[in-house]
Structure 1
């Protein structure tokens, strides 16, 4: 629509949205999932979680974390296990009515594709081909738009030569919020995906320099962390003047269009207290990726 700035409108009474002039898949996706969450919570007692879900030998792991703490990295490592399969990397549905009938909770994915941060290609070079074959957004396509150049041809991120000087047409890690929409089976093959997982472990991630590396949380402590939702705003996420400052995302889910704190609290309390899902809080700011990964595996035993 000519003359209309990119915008979106939501009507809570009818649970309908209208988008104008936007090509940002992330916004469209988040609002669509938010509308579905409102209906499913009300009609089906279904919990919508902004997090990754992986099945490891029949044990489901949900990782809930603010941006920049390692959720994608850790879920990827679990998926790479011989008996690991990805359910979803960004959103999980859990039907609590079904859980009460079965005696355990099942996490399911609402999407057939993974909405991946393309900066993961920095440490996994083989992902470049996968991303090249996928739909992407916010990827830097000009060297002049990159903030990480060093000298005439260097790069502060890869500690080597700038990809543009190597003849590449775009850089996947020059902007922190660039994404690729990757069909799940295109990542590691159809044998590495699952549509559901029996939830055994809830992992919360944080990143700071003072908190313990690991803490086992009961329902009270977990709810306190989740409800507060504190996180450090990373470059590329939100307005530039907020980068590096402390932000808050209650329940680490900014996409709930009808935010009912009491219902979110009940869902998480039941997960831990009623369905006996173990909950751990890991600090990725004081340990390496491998050390955090080993803690998750240990908690699954």
Structure 2
């Protein structure tokens, strides 16, 4: 099984493994905190290990950041006291990815009613279905992502 580590976050949302990617400062960690508040599960923040074979791709947390989240300008925060143990997972199968794009402000009228799923290549090693969310910092994605 091959393994890569990428910059991003990983959550379990309604029993689906979701990789959350986007540029630094796009709101990935704050989105994960909001999703935790809504009862979803955190796998990893800031660095996600992805293990893959020809039949399976899984998201994993590095041991040193398990149950921790890194918030810009606040540092690395241990979440064990704020959340129940069942809200943390060490791994889960990868089902899809969400790419946060705070710079993209325009909306393509053709995609207002239909999600624009694309194939996203991770380090040229594997591909995953990915939905790009534009204008992400102006939307409450913790309400929207569980609807997927």
Unaligned runs of 5+ in 2: none
User: 1:189 matched to which residue of 2?
Assistant: 84
CA contact under 8 A between 1:90 and 1:114: conserved in structure 2? no
CA distance change for structure 1 residues 209 and 105 in 2, over 3 Å: closer, same or farther?
A: closer
Distance 1:116 1:187 in 2: 15
Provide the residue aligned with 2:24 in structure 1: 67
- TM-score, L = length of structure 2: 0.78
Are the aligned partners of 1:206 and 1:282 in contact in 2 as well (CA < 8 Å)? yes
**1:52–1:72 CA contact under 8 A, matched in 2:** yes
State how 1:156-195 maps to structure 2 within 5 Å: 177-195=72-90
Task: Describe how 1:22-101 pairs up with structure 2 within 5 A.
Answer: 45-82=2-39, 84-97=40-53, 100=54
- How many residues align? The count is 141
Q: How does 1:1-301 map to 2 (within 5 A)?
A: 45-82=2-39, 84-97=40-53, 100=54, 103-110=55-62, 111-117=65-71, 177-208=72-103, 210-212=105-107, 216-219=116-119, 222-223=120-121, 264-265=123-124, 267=125, 270-272=126-128, 278-284=129-135, 288-290=138-140, 292-299=141-148
Say if 1:199 and 1:209 are closer, same or farther in 2 by CA, change over 3 A. Answer: closer
Larger RCO of the pair (alpha carbons < 8 Å, separation 6+):
2
Give unpaired runs (5+ residues) of structure 1: 1-43, 118-176, 224-250, 252-263, 273-277
Two-structure CA RMSD over aligned residues (Å): 2.5
- Is residue 116–residue 180 contact of structure 1 (8 Å, CA) maintained in 2? yes
Give the deviation of 1:212 after TM superposition: 2.6
CA shift at 1:193, angstroms? 0.9
**Would you say the 8 A contact 1:79–1:192 is kept in 2?**
yes
Runs of 4+ in structure 1 deviating by more than 4 angstroms, as ranges, are none
* Helix, strand or coil at the partner of 1:60: strand
Higher percent of residues as helix: 1
3-state SS of paired residue (2:127) = helix
Q: Distance in 1 between matches of 2:104 and 2:131?
A: 18
Bigger CA radius of gyration: 1
Q: Distance in 2 between matches of 1:115 and 1:297?
A: 21
User: Deviation at 1:207?
Assistant: 1.0
TM-score, normalising length: structure 1:
0.42
1:204 Cα deviation after fit:
0.3
Cα separation, partners in 2 of 1:68 and 1:185, compared to 1, 3 Å? same
Q: String of CA shifts for 1:263-291, please: whole Å, max 9, x gaps.
A: x12x2xx332xxxxx31000135x7332x
